[in-house]
Structure 1
């Protein structure tokens, strides 16, 4: 049977149905993409004999228009009628950082009815990891400036509750974003509910100082995703330059996870993920260290 000739209950073929379809029947929400662009950078050296400290950073833009004029937000923008979500995210990434072909993954879709005071807006958030040495950050059309912020993430309290066979886990998270001129803070409550085989996550912004929209929730979600994935994937290497020392790699893991790691255990963990080179560091003030590079075939070893 020719599928194009199938008729519905009104006696219409698909072509006839589409020709008569009225798209105005349903009010259509606007769609945006928001980018959580992370990198790891060296802080200023206080002692040239020591390795520079590293910090996990997130790119934010200062809003130059209403709403939330003067507050800091994630880079992003509206999706046009002629591009997919991924294409819109790549466009925003290129616009804000002038880089492409980097690691990027879809994080979560945010659809609370009142999340944007302008109109009904659904946002799809993306997480991107970039090598800081490649970046040339610039603000977009609706932003006054773009800046990197150090990310501090801590759990203030946790509570577990058993309700028969169901389980509820609550935690309150504090996020501090800072650089040499601004400090932003947010407190987010996260409630994870396990009801039978169903799993539901709810988030509530308890405090938000200087962070626009519901972007504090997005940041909390992204840091959790990043910390979880760095434990069992090679995602951390997207934050590294082509050549690096094992000490530098361990620093990146530590600032991302927010904890110190035992060197011996760490080197066993990443042994197959790296490949030795015949190159060494040439920094003055300390002994040369062997340089390594990422081994993309580590999964097959």
Structure 2
């Protein structure tokens, strides 16, 4: 979860000691007088209401615990089928012959990054000297015979030992699909709705005017700036880091700080998400019950490890 950044309300002023660029003379206000949080760094973006209902790959601790429980259950199932030395974290058949791409994933949120130093140096890309190799399974590669038992008939996720593990972890869950996709689906709908909100549209225009005033191209929003094909992003996700790209990326961050684009975005989405929770209270409550039940199943399995 992101660290909360709302701390105090400053009446009559949007920012304290704002000097432009990356200056922090006297620091900056934590909120506007109307309660809108002031966001100058990635860490200052507050949590949104729907995040408390999510359970997906973004919740790394919970997701990792679920994977450990799944591996344990699958291994036990394989042992029962006669594969006594089956590893807990196996490689898939043919894994050793695959070419593993080494890269750093590049992504951006609805308003992009606030890291001005990186923007000035790497633009909308990343340091090519800091490559990260994706995590590889620790165990040996499973055999073709083991794979047939592991996956079963492959006609569904509930087949084979992998399917048995899933059924155990989802025991008591009433709506399996909604547990994984309902919250993210509603969050996506809210983001689309936010894009039509007059206040956010005005904030994006102010940000765009600021970028243009600094001598760069007009974009409808920060995400479009990040995704400009002119940056020549390659298959590894990195950009060419031209002078224009570096300047645009720096102006992007400076203008988001100057006009609190991220804080306005959060304020609009926060209001819409709260309305969403009120409108679909029963559905969200049911998702949370199923999520908590699944996490309880995970805890029970890991306690037997």
Larger helix fraction of residues? 2
TM bin (shorter chain): under 0.3
TM-score by length of structure 2 reads 0.22
Q: Whose strand fraction is larger, Structure 1's or Structure 2's?
A: 1
Structure 1 length-normalised TM: 0.22
Greater relative contact order (Cα < 8 A, sep 6+):
2
